[in-house]
Amino acid sequence: MDTLSETEVLINNKEPLTRSKFFMLKVGENMGLDKPTIRDIINPQQIVILRLPVKLWGKVFVVWGCISLHNNARGPYKGGIRIAPDVNLWETVELSRLMTLKTSISDIEFGGGKTGIRVDIDDAYKLFGKKDQGNDHEFNKALSLEICEEFASEAKRYINDLTYIPAPDMGTGPEEMAYIYNQTLNPASVTGKPEGIHGWLPGRKESTGYGCYRATLRLLEDILRIPPQKSTLALQGFGNVGSYLALFLAEKGITIQAVTDLYGGVYDPDGLDISALYDYVSENGTVKGFVEKSITNEELFALDVDVLVPAATGNVINKENAGKVRAKGIVEAANVPITYEAMNLLSAKDVKVIPDIVANSGGVIASMEEYSRSLSAIKIEKESVFRIIDEKINNSLNAVFSKSADENIGFSEAAVQLAMERVYDAMKKRWHI
């Protein structure tokens, strides 16, 4: 008998040595901070565990989740809601810590938080007597909308007074954010709202993909010195981030040879037709079957392309497969797609990695705009939002590239150092740590 309770599953025992912890310990020591101070910056300030009884079609489906409120020294806790079958507490803590670092390096006045909601879709299919093996997209959407509505109601003490400001992450999107708004009726309380909903922002839905695209161009042009039109790329994940990123890259003339997702992958060495793939995925919910030649995730990671972009989930490039990577550079569109052990292996092979806290910061940069303009009925142009993202990501990358060169450290360590200095400074001023 499985004796683990949902809380035990969520807590998942001892916190593993995650990548951000690894870098923050190192950077903290370099900054001359004592251990308790470093721990104060690394640890979340509050963790909330939630039981969510989700009411759907006359039945109650209970799911569990957690909110990690990591750090609000520089502004309100900010971070997306992830719904996935493998969510656990330490993953949510890690993602909230990344948000603190991301908002800090981007120099926007937010702190870091995150929500993880663990949903076993097979259990839901069993409860509702469905047989489609998790593939009924209409059912999946109805479920995630109801989960978010229940979440907003259970977590209202954090959301309604802008203590924690959620946004989309894996498994959630603009529609879910509209359901959260329904509960709060405050346009500043949630970002990533769909077009036409009070306080929405033009360009928000494309913003993370757009930012990753700009980061990819900087990697190609400034670091790898490969003209974008002559470059090749492989992409894991074709959701909110991956799909828009692919459209921007294809428009620029970059050859995308392979795309994979949860259900399968497609490969064409001459380049996939990305706008046709976008339409195909909108209809079928997966890239699988778009062209004849298929590819697995592991094959994709080993492709001989210039740039590899993991835009799906965490820890996919790890010590088992990092040795097989042949790309010259990686853009971390997903959060923590590379483990710290793999990071060391890749750096020994001189693979250049644009770290997640910069590469995928376009979303939270746009969220800052959405939040601060939430009471205005006058809409800013999408192009203006993109310009703000450009400027912020370029500033972060300039700082990272020069710190990396000056101190002979990798881009990831340089990024964490820049971010951590700002967080420490704010904590010192507010709390005299």
The contact pattern for ligand NAD, residues 364-403, with x = CB under 6 A and - = no contact, is: ----------------------------------------
Q: Which residues contact 185 (CB under 8 A, 6 or more apart)?
A: none
- Determine which residue in the list 23, 64, 151, 238 makes contact with ligand NAD, applying CB under 6 A: 238
Q: How far apart are the first and last CA of the chain?
A: 47
From CA 274, how far away is CA 14, in angstroms rounded?
42
Span interacting with ligand NAD, options 4-12, 217-225, 235-243, 272-280, rule CB under 6 A? 235-243
From CA 30, how far away is CA 12, in angstroms rounded?
30
- Determine which residue in the list 201, 334, 343, 365 makes contact with ligand NAD, applying CB under 6 A: 334
Q: Of the listed 78, 114, 193, 352, which one is catalytic?
A: 114
Note whether 303 binds ligand NAD by CB under 6 A: no
**For ligand NAD, the closer CB: 368 or 427:** 368
- Determine which residue in the list 68, 183, 255, 360 makes contact with ligand NAD, applying CB under 6 A: 360
Note whether 115 binds ligand NAD by CB under 6 A: no
Note whether 245 binds ligand NAD by CB under 6 A: no
From CA 403, how far away is CA 47, in angstroms rounded?
33
CB 164 within 8 A of CB 113: yes
Give me the phi and psi of 69, to 5 degrees please. -100, 95
Note whether 239 binds ligand NAD by CB under 6 A: yes
**Quick one: which of 303, 296, 347, 340 has its CA closest to 318?**
340
DSSP assignment letter at 224: I
The verdict on whether 35 is a catalytic residue reads no
Note whether 31 binds ligand NAD by CB under 6 A: no
Span interacting with ligand NAD, options 116-124, 144-152, 329-337, 419-427, rule CB under 6 A? 329-337
Q: How far is the CB of 322 from ligand NAD (least distance, A)?
A: 16
For strands 59-71 and 46-56, give the pairing.
Answer: antiparallel
Note whether 208 binds ligand NAD by CB under 6 A: yes
R_g (Cα) of the chain, nearest Å: 21
Q: Which residues contact 162 (CB under 8 A, 6 or more apart)?
A: 76, 186, 188, 189
- Determine which residue in the list 18, 88, 104, 297 makes contact with ligand NAD, applying CB under 6 A: 297
Give me the phi and psi of 244, to 5 degrees please. -65, -40
Note whether 311 binds ligand NAD by CB under 6 A: yes
Note whether 242 binds ligand NAD by CB under 6 A: yes
User: Up-side HSE of residue 170: CA atoms within 13 Å toward CB?
Assistant: 24
- Which residues lie near ligand NAD (CB under 6 A)? 168-171, 208, 236-242, 260-262, 297, 311-313, 333-335, 360, 363
Q: Catalytic residues, which ones?
A: 114
